[in-house]
Chains A and B, each alone.
Chain A
Amino acid sequence: MRMRWRMPFSAITLLIVVPAAAWTEPTTGPAQSAMVREAQPLVDAINKHVAARWTKLKVQEAPLADDAEFMRRVFLDISGRIPYTSEARDFLDDKAADKREKLIEKLLESSGYVGTYSAFWRDLLIPPDNNQQRQLLQRQITPWIQKKIRENTAYDKMVFELLTAPVATGNTGGGRPGRLGAQNGPAIFYQANEYKPDNLGSATSRLFLGVRLECANCHDHKFDKWKRKQFWQYAAFFAGIGTSQPQDFGDGQGEEDRGRNELTIPGTDIKVKARFLDDSVPDWKKGKSPREALAEWITSKDNPYFARAIVNRIWGHLMGFGIVEPVDDFTVDNQPSNPELLDALAKAFVEHNYDMKYLIRAIVLSKPYQLTSKMTNESQLDTTAFARMSVKSLTAEQFFDSLALATYYNESAPVTKGGRRDPNNNVVSPRDEFIARFANNSDKRTEPQTSILQALALMNGKFLNDITSADRGQLLGGAVLFKPEDSKRCIEALYLATLSREPTADEMSKAVKYIEGGGVSNDKSKAAADLYWVLLNSSEFMFNH
């Protein structure tokens, strides 16, 4: 099979019409859904440009992922959790040639998709922090984000809405932000940035243009062409934003002077007027506020940064590394590793009206996404080649939700009584506590580092221990009901529930030996609990691969 892929890619496409299913198994051509058909040209373009780089770098790509590996990966990447045992069994037993496409569509329509991508955007717009104020802001912006994701709002429209959202929202009194409905959500972004033009300038250029301007905040950028004056000219689009009460905890109400489009650089008496990053100036028509002008410029089809920044970000999210890496650092000395690929993604995304699901679908159907993460050749170490899927971290939420799922943990009926209370005397749920412990603040998904405290929490922590104990754990209780002769079925159930795959022959024989041997206390249920514990503490469980 490896020999086949060494043929010039163009030769294959000329000779054979290749249905998407051929990437999964050699079968006859199946019926393709309309969505898949629509995405096919981009899928082909991705495959073409990635393969071209393999040839150029003389890279031997990894084989395709098998069903179990693909299934778990795509469940996590699209719906933020591992599959239930029943879902896993159904997929693995399914003989349909287009089952991967069907699964992708099912996941894109699931509530898990809304949940996990809302969390993704929430964390980008309001970077998480372990303090109450931050957490409150995150909660407040979530309904708006969820609405956008659920309705699959076009990305350019979502950004436009955010950039032009009214900022003065009114309070319910007492200086604290009122209960904000979904339509007031975007105002929270301004609050989180303390209503300051420089913060808003840095955040928006980083998020939507992939440009980290903030170094130019104080002096000319060291590695790029941005000058200090340009930073402030860009920030000046937000010059009209302010707050009534700038103080310690950012409780102040937002205010806006819609006409204002210039500011004074702090610490100097240099006044600058709003100017775009490409040095052009808006047509200051009456009635159009600076933010509207900025929003139009940013989301314009002609803006070279906008589409490339988002497709690069999503590519990086799914593949573990961006084509430009770090994903929000497009600079003169950080060029795309595969410019043709980046341009193809950007172009197609714009042509399809910035449809997020379309983009995700195309990437996930592509060959590089479907490769295994098991390294089979040294050349696969070059991450810019995308010749093997990278090991990616789970977010703390994904980790907890997968853990809960693998153990049939039901939060409404907690296994342990008496949770901790926070300063407002609210019970801190195990989920919240867990997420606080495991929040991964690194923006590098492929280099998550486990700390000693995390390891201890997993090894000895009450939560995991309760879940995996033979008498208390729910899944285990069910699994150990199997009779001793059924240790095989027990093992299979544990592997499917946790790693979403069946044990290999070698793993099975080792596990049977251990359980039949009763572990250290000559007790088969305890031995099964040990195996369960091991599976949940393993790298294979903890990471997305």
Chain B
Amino acid sequence: MSRFSELPRLSRREWMRLASAGVVAYSTSGWIERLAAETSTNPERKKSVILLWMNGGPSQMDTFDLKPGHANGGPFKEIQTSATGLKISEHLPKIAKFGDKMVVVRSMNTKEADHGRATYYMRTGYLPQGAVQYPTIGSLLSKELARPELPLPNFVAIAPYRFFSPGAFSSGFLGPQYAPLIVGDTGNQFGQQGGQNSYDQLLRVQDIDLPGDVSSKQADARIELLRDMEKDFASTHPGVAPQSHQTAYERAVKLMKTDANKAFKLDEESDKVRDAYGRNLFGQGCLLARRLVERGVPFVEVTLGGLNNNALGWDTHGDNFNMVRQLSGVLDPAWATLMQDLKDRDLLDSTLIVWMGEFGRTPQINGGNGRDHYASAWSTVLAGGGIKGGQAIGKTSEDGTKVEEREVTVPDLFATICLALGIDPNKQNESNVRRPIRLAEKGAQPIKEII
């Protein structure tokens, strides 16, 4: 350690910056034993979050808030879930069995019906505003639920579709240290069907493997030489930049070397399990999410967007019913198997699952047999995480156009999520405009009754 590590003249701000740059000592062994020793019933165990992001704006009228009698209802029927009185779409039969673990929020009213702005709003809790770089929910929550001793990054994003609003997938003013590790990044392309191997390749960490012509001995020698060089530079150049550089490299090496990396090896799972999740990007992504949460990762998100090279995903302006049926066919087994797996491993009560998109869809069916953007009355779902499941919050009108009871806004939803995780929604982070920003916007009314 350099002799400048204890500097009385270092301002408090400087110290905080260095600390937040992740300069934390961690032990190199024993983490997995410690984790195994913690059971999910241990109240000290921090919770995890899995966000299932439905890119394009999923139709609530055809998933979680059906109006079968009404002209707006469309052809889908309702089925009973495992919770009496809670009914959802017939095309989600597997997840219906977990009705008692689910809270369906039917009274979302979020005002933004533009893909970009709505994506940003739903994912950061704030509308885009000038120079402030609001962090995405994964960065915010993984920071609160952080496990610095984990060799895995605390926030993993699986197959994100960032085109509508790249800022909504960024760690914003929290800095790159809280940025997600992204796997399965198909860039702006979507729904690529391919053979099994293509998912295995896609869902790995990019560049985690040594190049073919570099042996691991050689790699070790290089890292040793690099460490030596960095010591000299860091000792004469104290500050965030070189510290963060060093930390990033150390963490990257750790990720390469430890067992943590094996989380991404989906071929360790049996065919039966992989089939149950569904042999597609979303299904295998959910499987990966389970594996990561098993290993203690606090926040994982998986995106379900397009299928069959269709980039539109849930954005069903036309042919709504066929597309939603197909998407449900992918969503249902993946989500249900995820819930079951978590339950089997005693992790369901400590893992909060959030299901949402950027907005819902119009109750009125348009000329193309589709539904358009609609943010005035739509649904999101919370599951697991120890919440009081088996109920619906809020009510929409008979024709689905208006919220009639218990309106829920974006800040309300954020505050609810925070409380479910044992986090104070009023906690503040310092932003890039020197203004502290709360996790949930001021005035948020969480849905206390489900905690």
B241 with A217: CB separation less than 8 A: no
> Which residue from chain A places its CB closest to the CB of B20 in the assembled complex?
A449
Q: Which residues of A contact B435 (CB under 8 A)?
A: 215, 222-223
Is B208's CB within 8 Å of the partner chain A? yes
30 contacts between A and B (CB under 8 A): A202-B131, A248-B116, A329-B433, A378-B4, A378-B7, A378-B8, A381-B9, A391-B237, A423-B189, A444-B432, A447-B240, A448-B244, A450-B176, A452-B181, A452-B248, A453-B181, A453-B182, A453-B207, A456-B256, A457-B206, A460-B211, A465-B213, A520-B218, A520-B220, A521-B218, A526-B218, A530-B222, A534-B225, A538-B230, A540-B229
B209 with A460: CB separation less than 8 A: yes
Q: Which residues of A contact B241 (CB under 8 A)?
A: 391-393, 446-449, 539, 543
Interface residues of A in 386-412 (CB under 8 A from B): 390-393
Question: Within the complex, what minimum Cβ distance (angstroms) separates A125 from chain B?
Answer: 14
Question: Within the complex, what minimum Cβ distance (angstroms) separates A536 from chain B?
Answer: 10
Complexed CA–CA distance, A85 and B244 (Å): 29
- How many pairs of A and B residues are in contact by the CB < 8 Å rule? 201
> Which residue from chain B places its CB closest to the CB of A373 in the assembled complex?
B237
Is A461's CB within 8 Å of the partner chain B? yes
Complexed CA–CA distance, A490 and B213 (Å): 22
7 other A-B residue contacts (CB within 8 Å) besides A223-B435, A392-B241, A453-B206: A215-B435, A391-B241, A448-B241, A452-B181, A453-B181, A456-B206, A537-B249
Q: Which residues of B contact A132 (CB under 8 A)?
A: 163, 188
Identify A465's interface contact among B9, B211, B221, B251, CB under 8 A.
B211
Complexed CA–CA distance, A521 and B222 (Å): 12
Minimum-distance CB pairs A-B, first 5: A214-B130, A450-B248, A455-B252, A449-B176, A130-B166
Complexed CA–CA distance, A454 and B207 (Å): 9
Is B233's CB within 8 Å of the partner chain A? yes
Identify A457's interface contact among B21, B207, B239, B433, CB under 8 A.
B207
> Which residue from chain A places its CB closest to the CB of B113 in the assembled complex?
A248
Q: Which residues on A are within 8 Å of B, measured CB to CB? A: 129-132, 202, 206, 212, 214-215, 217, 222-223, 248, 326, 328-329, 334, 373-375, 378-379, 381-382, 390-393, 420, 422-423, 440-444, 446-457, 459-462, 465, 469, 510, 514, 519-521, 526, 530-531, 533-535, 537-540, 542-543, 545
Q: Which residues of B contact A543 (CB under 8 A)?
A: 241-242, 245
Complexed CA–CA distance, A137 and B26 (Å): 45
Q: Mark B159-200, 1 if CB is under 8 A from A, else 0.
A: 000110111001010011101011000011100000000000
A202 with B162: CB separation less than 8 A: no
Complexed CA–CA distance, A101 and B22 (Å): 41
Is B28's CB within 8 Å of the partner chain A? no
A326 with B130: CB separation less than 8 A: no
Question: Within the complex, what minimum Cβ distance (angstroms) separates A197 from chain B?
Answer: 14
A452 with B153: CB separation less than 8 A: yes
Question: Within the complex, what minimum Cβ distance (angstroms) separates A66 from chain B?
Answer: 13
Is B308's CB within 8 Å of the partner chain A? no
Q: Which residues of B contact A535 (CB under 8 A)?
A: 229
Is B205's CB within 8 Å of the partner chain A? yes
A329 with B434: CB separation less than 8 A: yes
Q: Which residues of A contact B163 (CB under 8 A)?
A: 131-132
Q: Mark B1-34, 1 if CB is under 8 A from A, else 0.
A: 0001001111100100100010000000000000
> Which residue from chain B places its CB closest to the CB of A470 in the assembled complex?
B213
Is B422's CB within 8 Å of the partner chain A? no
A539 with B230: CB separation less than 8 A: yes
Q: Mark B94-137, 1 if CB is under 8 A from A, else 0.
A: 00000000000000000000111000000000000111010000
B238 with A375: CB separation less than 8 A: yes
Q: Which residues of B contact A223 (CB under 8 A)?
A: 434-435
Complexed CA–CA distance, A540 and B229 (Å): 9
Q: Which residues of B contact A521 (CB under 8 A)?
A: 215, 217-218
Q: Which residues of B contact A465 (CB under 8 A)?
A: 211, 213-214
Q: Which residues of A contact B238 (CB under 8 A)?
A: 375, 381
Is B246's CB within 8 Å of the partner chain A? yes
Question: Within the complex, what minimum Cβ distance (angstroms) separates B117 from chain A?
Answer: 9
Complexed CA–CA distance, A510 and B225 (Å): 10
Is B236's CB within 8 Å of the partner chain A? yes
A452 with B255: CB separation less than 8 A: yes
Question: Within the complex, what minimum Cβ distance (angstroms) separates B165 from chain A?
Answer: 8
Is B226's CB within 8 Å of the partner chain A? yes
Question: Within the complex, what minimum Cβ distance (angstroms) separates A411 from chain B?
Answer: 20
B9 with A378: CB separation less than 8 A: yes
Q: Which residues of B contact A329 (CB under 8 A)?
A: 433-434
Q: Known contacts being A131-B162, A443-B432, A520-B217, is A455 close to B226, with CB within 8 Å? A: no
B432 with A202: CB separation less than 8 A: no
Question: Within the complex, what minimum Cβ distance (angstroms) separates A154 from chain B?
Answer: 27
Complexed CA–CA distance, A66 and B183 (Å): 44
Is B210's CB within 8 Å of the partner chain A? yes
Q: Known contacts being A449-B244, A530-B222, A538-B230, is A129 close to B167, with CB within 8 Å? A: yes
Q: Which residues of A contact B228 (CB under 8 A)?
A: 510
B214 with A538: CB separation less than 8 A: no
Q: Which residues of B contact A542 (CB under 8 A)?
A: 245
Is B447's CB within 8 Å of the partner chain A? no
- Residue of A130, A422, A453 with most partner-chain B CB within 10 A: A453
Q: Mark B57-87, 1 if CB is under 8 A from A, else 0.
A: 0000000000000000000000000000000
